[in-house]
Amino acid sequence: MSDVRQHADDIHDQFSDHLDVSVEDVEERLATLVDEYKVPMDEARRSVTNHYLEEAGLDREDLSSGSSEAVNVEDVDEPEQWVDLTAKVIELWDPRSDSVAQVGLLGDPTGTIKFTKWAKSELPALEEGGVYSLENVVTDEYQGRYSVKLNSTTIIEELDEELEVGDDTSEIEGALIDMQSGSGLIKRCPKEDCTRVLQNGRCNEHGEVEGEFDLRIKAVVDDGLDAHEVIFDKDATENLTGLSLEEAKDMAMDALDTTVVADEIADDIVGTYYRIEGPTFGRYVLADDVSELDGPADAEQLLIKARSM
Amino acid sequence: MSQSELTREVARRVFASEFNDSTYTFKESDDERAPNFALLPTGDRANRVFIVGTLTETEDVGEDSEYWRGRVVDPTGTFFVYAGQYQPEAASILRETEPPAYVSVVGKPRTYETEDGSVNVSVRPESIAVVDAATRDRWVVETAERTLDRIEAFEEWEAEQEAPESASTAPTNEYAQMAREQYDSPVVNYRNDVIQALEQLEEQEADATA
C-alpha cells in the first residue's frame, strides 16, 4: 500500500462515523497536496483532516484517534486518552461558563473523577444519582488531577442499575517515621475562608493578623516501599495523642513557647506503627481512622515462605 | 531531577547483617544535591533506613565536641549509630537513654574506610525514639518480609539471566545487577539471616505461652 493510501485510510477511519466519504476521495485530496504542491505529508494530513472536520461540523477533539477502551475511574492516569466509563453521577456543580453545559463528579467502585460536558456538544442532560454508560470520553489532566470531557461523539446511555461508588480512600500500614514542621500547636488566619497557617504571626494573604490556635500533625508514614504524607486534623490529633487543644495551649503558655507541644507529640508517636485510613488529597492522606498496630506480629507464615525459597 | 528531589526517599527495612555489607555507595545523577544511595546486596538502593533494635551501649567517642556512638542490636547483628552536634536531638537521646532499651532509628547510611582499608557502614540518625517490645517484633517481621521480597526479585532476575532463550525479554533489575557486580556475598546468606530472625521470634512466643 502506498504511503498516501495508508494515510488516506487513517483519515477515512476517523470520519467514517460522521461523513459519507470514500477512501479514494481522501486519497485524491492528499495526493494533490503531496505530489503536485509538494506539501509535506504531516501538513497535508492536517489540511485534509481540517477540510473534513469543517464539512462534518466537528472539532478536532471530537475525533477519536482509534477505538476507545473501557476503563475504571482509577485507571485514568494519562491525559488525552479515549475511554469508555460506566459511572454514577455523584454531584452536579454549577458551570462557571456558558460554554459548559454540565460539570460534576462521576464515580465507580474504584474512585471518583470530575467530568465536563460542553454546551456545543448538545448531549442529553445527566441527572444526579443516575448511572450511565459513557462511550468515547476524553481524559484530561490539570495539576496532577484527572478529569474526563464529554464531547459530541460521546454516546450516553442511562443504565437501570445501581453502582456502588468507592472514594479515593487510602489505607496505609507503616511506621510513623517523621513529623514535619508546621505540626503541633499552630495559628491560622481568622479571615473568612482563609484558614492559612501563619508564619511568625503573618498570613501570606492578609499580613499580620491575630491568629486562632489549632492542632494538627503533618507526618510521614512509611512502609518500606512508599513514604506517605499524612495530615491529622484537630480531632485526629486529639484522638492520637490524648492531648486536647486546651491542654496544648496551657502547655505552650507555661513554657512561653509553642514548640513544646510538637516536641511532646513527636516523642509520643515517632517510631510507632499505625494503620491509617482516609481520603487522599493531592499528595496527602487525611487521617480519618487511625489505629496503632500493637498486636503480635505473625512470623509463622513468613518463616514457612523463607524456608521454602 | 526536579521531580525526584521533591519526592521523599523511602526508608528501607534491612537487617544489620545486610546493612553492614552495603559498602558500595553511589549517586544517580551528577547534581551536587542528588541523593546518595547505599547498595543493598539483595538488590535495592537505600537512601534512608528505618531500624528497630536493642540499644545495648552508648559512648561519647568525640574528642573536641560530643559525638555519640550507639550500638543497636537486631537478631542478625549490630548497627552502629553515630550522632554529633549536627544531630542534636538524636545525640541527646543517646546521651540520656539508659541501655538496654528498645529504640527505633530513622537515618541515612554512611560509609567510611578504616585504616586497614575495609569499609564500615553506619547510620547517621535523623531521629531516635524509645519504643516497646511489640514495635521491635513488628519491625523484625516487616523487615523479614521486605528482605524476602528483595531476595525473590533478585533470584527471579538471576534465573532469567541464566536462561538464554528468554534473555531478550528478561525483566530488568538494575540494582540486582549492580549488587552482583559489586558484591561477592550470595543472597542466600541473607535468607538464612531472615530465617534465624523469625525463628527467634517464634521461640520467644513459645516461651511466652509455655
Give A-chain residues touching B72 at CB under 8 angstroms. none
A180 to A88, A177, A184, A262: CA distances (angstroms): 38, 10, 10, 9
Work out the mean pLDDT of chain B and round it to a whole number.
90
Q: How confident is the model at residue A16, as a pLDDT?
A: 74
Domain ranges within chain A, ordered by starting residue: 3-58, 69-159, 169-186+214-292
State which of A66-70, A86-90, A216-220, B159-163 shows the largest mean pLDDT: A216-220
Residue of B nearest to A173 (CA): B142
454516546: which residue's cell? A155
Q: Which residue has the higher pLDDT, A71 or B126?
A: B126
Q: Which residues from chain B sit within 8 angstroms of residue A266, using beta carbons? A: 127
Which residue from A177, A272, A306 is facing B11, i.e. has the nearest CB? A177
pLDDT for the residue B5: 39
- Rounded to an integer, the average pLDDT of A41-63 is 81
Tell whether B27 is within 8 A of chain A (Cβ). Answer: no
Asked if pLDDT for residue A2 goes beyond 80, the answer is no
CA A61 to chain centre: 21
H or E element in which residue B60 lies: strand B48-60
pLDDT-based confidence at residue B176 (cuts at 50, 70, 90) = very high
For the segment B129-145, the average pLDDT, to the nearest whole number, is 95
For residue B148, give the nearest of A220, A272, A302 by CB distance: A302
Check: CB of residue A104 under 8 Å from CB of residue A88. Answer: no
Does A285 have pLDDT greater than 60? yes
**What would the mean pLDDT of A62-72 be, rounded to a whole number?**
70
Q: Is residue B135 predicted with pLDDT exceeding 80?
A: yes
Q: What is the pLDDT of residue A178?
A: 96
**Interval A106-116 mean pLDDT:** 86
Can you give the pLDDT at residue B166?
55
B150 → chain A, closest CA residue = A225
Using a CB–CB cut-off of 8 Å, the residues of A that contact B are 175, 177-178, 220, 222-227, 229, 266-267, 270-273, 293-300, 302-303, 305-307, 309
Most confident of A66-80, A122-136, A144-158, B95-109: B95-109
Question: What CATH code would you report for A169-186+214-292?
Answer: 2.40.50.140
Lowest mean pLDDT among A277-286, B34-43, B77-86, B184-193: A277-286
pLDDT at residue A169, rounded to an integer: 76
pLDDT at position B4 over 70: no
Average of per-residue pLDDT values in chain A: 87
pLDDT band at B103 (very low <50, low <70, confident <90, very high): very high
Q: Does domain B1-210 have CATH number 2.40.50.140?
A: yes
pLDDT at A18 over 80: no
What is the pLDDT at residue B101? 96
Determine whether the interchain pair B142/A224 forms a contact, defined as Cβ–Cβ distance below 8 Å.
yes
Residue B66 near chain A (CB below 8 Å): no
Is residue A64 within 8 A of residue A153, CB to CB? The reply is yes
Residue (of A33, A58, A59, A37) closest to A47 by Cα position: A33
> Greater confidence, B197 or A284?
B197
Which residues face A246 on adjacent strands? none
- Reported as a single tens digit per residue, the pLDDT across A140-171 is 887 667 899 998 888 899 998 888 877 667 88
Q: Name the pLDDT band for A193 (thresholds 50, 70, 90).
A: confident
Q: Please give the pLDDT value at position A40.
A: 86
- Nearest Cα of chain B lies from the Cα of A270 at a distance, in angstroms, of 7
Q: Quick check: B202 and A303 CB within 8 A? A: yes
Task: Specify the pLDDT at position B48.
Answer: 97
Superfamily of domain A69-159: Nucleic acid-binding proteins (2.40.50.140)
pLDDT above 70 (res A63): no
SS3 track for chain A: CCHHHHHHHHHHHHHCCCCCCCHHHHHHHHHHHHHHCCCCHHHHHHHHHHHHHHHHCCCHHHCCCCCCEECCHHHCCCCCCEEEEEEEEEEEECCCCCCEEEEEEEEECCEEEEEEEEHHHCCCCCCCCCEEEEEEEEEEEECCEEEEEECCCCEEEEECCCCCCCCCEEEEEEEEEEECCCCEEEEECCCCCCCCECECCEECCCEECCCEEEEEEEEEEECCCCEEEEEECHHHHHHHHCCCHHHHHHHHHHHCCCHHHHHHHHHHHCCCEEEEEEEEECCEEECCEEEECCCCCCCHHHHHHHHHC
* Chosen from B47, B51, B142 to mutate, greatest number of chain A CBs within 10 A: B142
Of A178, A225, A294, Cβ closest to residue B106: A178
| pLDDT value at A94 more than 60 | yes
Is B156 near chain A, with CB under 8 Å? no
Q: Which helix (H) or strand (E) holds B193?
A: helix B188-209
| A305: chain B residues, CB-CB within 8 Å | 148
Per-domain residue ranges for chain B?
1-210
Q: Is B27 helix (H, G, I), strand (E, B) or coil?
A: strand
Q: Give residue A183's pLDDT band: very low, low, confident or very high (50, 70, 90).
A: very high
pLDDT band at B146 (very low <50, low <70, confident <90, very high): very high
Q: Which residues, at least 6 apart from B157, have a Cβ–Cβ distance to it below 8 Å?
A: B43, B170, B171, B172, B173, B176, B177
Chain-chain contact of B127 with A175 (C-beta, under 8 angstroms): no
Q: Which of A177, A267, A298 sits opposite B141 (nearest CB)?
A: A298
Q: Do B141 and A297 touch (CB under 8 A)?
A: yes
pLDDT digits (tens, 9 = 90+) for B16-62: 999 999 999 999 988 888 899 999 999 999 999 999 999 999 999 99
Q: Reply yes or no on whether the pLDDT at B1 is more than 70.
A: no
Identify the band that residue B161 occupies on the pLDDT scale cut at 50, 70 and 90: confident
**Rg for chain B (alpha carbons), in Å?**
18
**B167 pLDDT tier (thresholds 50, 70, 90):** low
What percent of chain B lies above the pLDDT cut of 70?
A: 93
Separation CA A235–CA A268 (nearest Å): 17
| Closest CA–CA distance from residue A179 to any residue of chain B (Å) | 10
Q: Do A270 and B129 touch (CB under 8 A)?
A: yes
Confidence of residue A43 (pLDDT cuts 50, 70, 90): confident
Q: Do A299 and B201 touch (CB under 8 A)?
A: yes
Nearest-by-CA chain A residue for B93: A267
Measured CA distances, B172 to A30, A124, B45, B149, B167 (Å): 44, 49, 15, 16, 10
SS (H, E, C) A172-211: EEEEEEEECCCCEEEEECCCCCCCCECECCEECCCEECCC
Contact call for B138 and A297, based on CB within 8 A = yes
Task: Please list every residue in chain A whose beta carbon sits closer than 8 Å to the beta carbon of residue B194.
Answer: 302, 306
A281 pLDDT above the threshold of 70: no
Residue B5 at interface with chain A, using a CB cutoff of 8 Å: no
| pLDDT above 90: residue A49 | no
A295·B134 Cβ contact <8 A: yes
User: For residue B165, what pLDDT is reported?
Assistant: 61
Per-residue model confidence (pLDDT) at position B138: 95
In this complex, the residue of A224, A227, A270 whose CB is nearest that of residue B127 is: A270
More confident residue, A196 or A174: A174
Residue type, B83: A
Interface pTM (ipTM) of the complex? Answer: 0.89
* Per-residue pLDDT at B2: 36
Pairs from A87-91 (Cβ < 8 Å, separation ≥ 24):
A87/A113, A87/A131, A87/A132, A87/A134, A87/A163, A88/A129, A88/A130, A88/A131, A88/A132, A88/A163, A88/A165, A89/A126, A89/A127, A89/A128, A89/A129, A89/A130, A89/A131, A89/A132, A90/A128, A90/A165, A91/A128
How many Å is the Cα radius of gyration of chain A?
Answer: 28
Residue of A227, A295, A305 lying closest to B10 (CB–CB): A227
* pLDDT over threshold 90, residue B178: yes
HEC assignment per residue over B110-162: EEEECCCCCEEEEEEEEEEEECCHHHHHHHHHHHHHHHHHHHHHHHHHHHHHH
Q: Point out which residues pair with B70 in neighbouring strands.
A: B58, B81
| Out of A48-57, A64-73, A290-299, least confident range | A64-73
Q: Do A303 and B138 touch (CB under 8 A)?
A: no
Location of C-alpha cell 528497630 = B52
Q: Taking CB atoms and an 8 Å cutoff, what residues of chain A touch B11?
A: 175, 177, 222, 224, 227
Taking the Cβ of residue B139 and every Cβ of chain A, the question of whether any pair is shorter than 8 Å is answered with: yes
Residue B141 pLDDT level (bands cut at 50, 70, 90): very high
- pLDDT on residue A6: 84
Rounded to a whole number of angstroms, the distance from the CA of A298 to the nearest CA of chain B is 7
By CA distance, what is A266's nearest residue in B?
A: B129
